[in-house]
Structure 1
Amino acid sequence: MPKAYVYRAHGGPEVEEFADLPRPVPAAGQVLIAVRAAGVNPVDWKRRSGYVPAGATPPPLPAVLGSEAAGVVVEVGPGVTDFQPGDEVFGNPVTGGYAEYTLLPVELTARKPAGLSFVDAATLPVAAATAYDGVHQLGLPPGAALLITGVGGGVGVAAAQIARHEGLRVIGTASPAKRDFVESLGAVHVPYGPGAGDQIRKVAPEGVDAVFDLVGGDALAEAAELLEDRRALITAADRATVQLLGGQPVERKRNREVLEAVAALAVEEVLLPYVTATYPLEEAASALRAVEDGHAQGKIVIEVTG
């Protein structure tokens, strides 16, 4: 039977394991794909730990890890006319991406452009799409200053590039070790941690026009103090805190149009995925640890042998 990497209960890494699962069968509005690559995101280990995103329903256990995948359609569900077997696609799986096969809902599935690899396509459905939604939610004019907290991770890297493409000035907080990387994105680097607010005021004495937070907690609260208008404060990391501060969570569009938009930016090389490491499915645990430990730079991707 097909192999998948699952969590059998909510908890830490100890609840993860490989499992042989029946090949999923697509229902109406779904396609079954043979996975070629799966992106690794913080939300993967958070869901394993018991986190349930707003509006989501916890999956039955054991549950396959992974929230973005790219592959080849092998079967379509009843009523599906947008795709057919053999199509190369990417999207947000409903049965987990760390697997040889998974199901994608057609509304969250897009065709993979020929000029885009499966590995790069697998970085787009969560990280790049979240970044795209957040930058456009803020709707800043060219020349405005955007602060991105946690700019060195997958969402931050994409957000910096999209913001720069929109003509924004970007300031990003990240570890000192990521300074060169952050500056390569066209952003001004500020080391995160205590006192980051003072450092941001030094590099942006005229202030910042908006904050795109990817860290939450104290970093989010400190960044909020830099804004005159808290409506320009958004987060993809800490829904509860941002609402207390007068800001709002990133409003995810979750549709095919956004997937097509970020894929077009990637093909045009406006949006570089910055995949810094790939792992075979057999090393899914190591791939997830690289992200869960908080030291990953750019994107981590699991490759599945076709």
Structure 2
Amino acid sequence: MPKAYVFTRYGGPETEALVDVDRPAPGPGQLLVAVRVAGVNPVDWKLRTGYRRPDDRGEREFPAVLGNEVSGVVEEIGEGVSGFAVGDEVFGNTAAGGYAEYALLPAGVTAHKPAALSFAAAATLPVAAATAYDGVRQLALPAGATLLITGAGGGVGAAAAQIARAFGLRVVGVASEGKREFVQSLGAVHVPAGPDLTRRVRAAAAAGVDGVFDLVGGEVLAEAAGLLTDRTRLITAGAPEQTVADLGGARVARARTAAVLDAVADLVVKGDLDPHVTRTFPLERAAQALRAVEEGHARGKIVIEVAR
């Protein structure tokens, strides 16, 4: 039977297990994909704790497979799906988990993998890079403007910095001192995280910042908001909708389309976006991969290599 890494109830790491599962069957509008690589993201462990996205409906069935993005090869095609064939190399968001040998992908948020894009790089794009792309597009800052990114050393932050640079923006990135060189390698001006953030940002951007892309939330979000004269240029993927609305900003509006996946893949192929895959784990070590992200010290992206 196929293997999958699951959580058996809401809670901590003790709820996780590598188990045998039935091979999924694609429903209408779905693809069954033999997974090559699965991306690891903070949202994976947050969902395990019971966190619910704003668009979540119904109750979760257990055991639930972890993971939200994969790359792989099409094995079966569900009813009503066009534009894909068995054997196509694809990547996209999952319908029901991705830390597995087989995953179901909604065809509408699945894209063909360019030949020049590795399976590992492709697996990192549907969550972090697509969120970053949606956010930078949402801000719609003109070329030459300055964008402040909080949490610039993580997967979404690193992608946002590079995408913003590709769009002609100046980027100031807030991250820990240990991620200084990494943030600078993205083409951003590094500002250390910690108390008195406002003073350090103003020193790094004497003319001020024109937009804020927050990935941290809490006091960092509130302090960053104070740097803006136009709060409509404040977005977050790190705080609840009401929290940022109270500050005059908004959550990142996710497009969740194959067109966005095509766009970020094109940025990688052109050399404008490096997914920065820093660590790779096999499926049997999925727990270690998720711990590396859950503990908050990961730099760039971590992936699980399910099959070669």
TM-score by length of 1: 0.99
Q: Are residues 1:212 and 2:213 paired?
A: yes
Mean alpha-carbon deviation: is it higher for 281-290 or for 74-83? 74-83
Matches within 5 A, 1:292-303: 292-303=294-305
Cα deviations by residue, 1:149-190 (Å, 9 ceiling, x for unpaired): 000000001000000011101000000011011111110001
Offset of 1:286 from its aligned partner? Answer: 0.3
Give the distance between the partners of 1:199 and 1:79, measured in 2 at CA.
54
Output the amino acid matched with 2:18: F
Corresponding residue for 1:120?
121
Corresponding residue for 1:21?
21
Corresponding residue for 2:269?
267
Corresponding residue for 2:156?
155
Give the distance between the partners of 2:6 and 2:96, measured in 1 at CA.
10
Matches within 5 A, 1:62-141: 62-141=63-142
Give the distance between the partners of 2:82 and 2:255, measured in 1 at CA.
23
Corresponding residue for 1:3?
3
Offset of 1:206 from its aligned partner? Answer: 1.4
SS in structure 2 at match of 1:28? coil
Corresponding residue for 1:257?
259
Output the amino acid matched with 1:36: R
Poorly superposed stretches of 4+, deviation over 2 Å:
none
Output the amino acid matched with 2:245: Q
Offset of 1:75 from its aligned partner? Answer: 0.4
Mean alpha-carbon deviation: is it higher for 239-248 or for 68-77? 239-248
Offset of 1:305 from its aligned partner? Answer: 1.9
Cα deviations by residue, 1:21-74 (Å, 9 ceiling, x for unpaired): 100000010000000000000000000010111112353111100000000000
Corresponding residue for 1:43?
43
Give the distance between the partners of 1:230 and 1:81, measured in 2 at CA.
42
Give the distance between the partners of 1:281 and 1:193, measured in 2 at CA.
36
Give the distance between the partners of 1:81 and 1:256, measured in 2 at CA.
13
Give the distance between the partners of 1:199 and 1:101, measured in 2 at CA.
47
Output the amino acid matched with 1:124: L
Offset of 1:212 from its aligned partner? Answer: 0.0
Offset of 1:243 from its aligned partner? Answer: 1.4
Cα deviations by residue, 1:191-239 (Å, 9 ceiling, x for unpaired): 1111111100111121100000000111101101101111110001102
Cα deviations by residue, 1:237-296 (Å, 9 ceiling, x for unpaired): 102321121110000000010000001111111111100000000000000000000000
How many residues end up aligned between the 2 structures? 306
Give the distance between the partners of 1:15 and 1:298, measured in 2 at CA.
26
Cα deviations by residue, 1:111-138 (Å, 9 ceiling, x for unpaired): 0000011000000000000000000000
SS in structure 1 at match of 2:171? strand
Output the amino acid matched with 1:119: A
Percentage of matched positions with identical amino acids: 64
Q: What value does the CA root-mean-square deviation take over the aligned residues?
A: 0.8
Q: Are residues 1:245 and 2:261 paired?
A: no
Output the amino acid matched with 2:205: A
Corresponding residue for 2:171?
170
Give the distance between the partners of 1:107 and 1:281, measured in 2 at CA.
26
SS in structure 2 at match of 1:45? helix
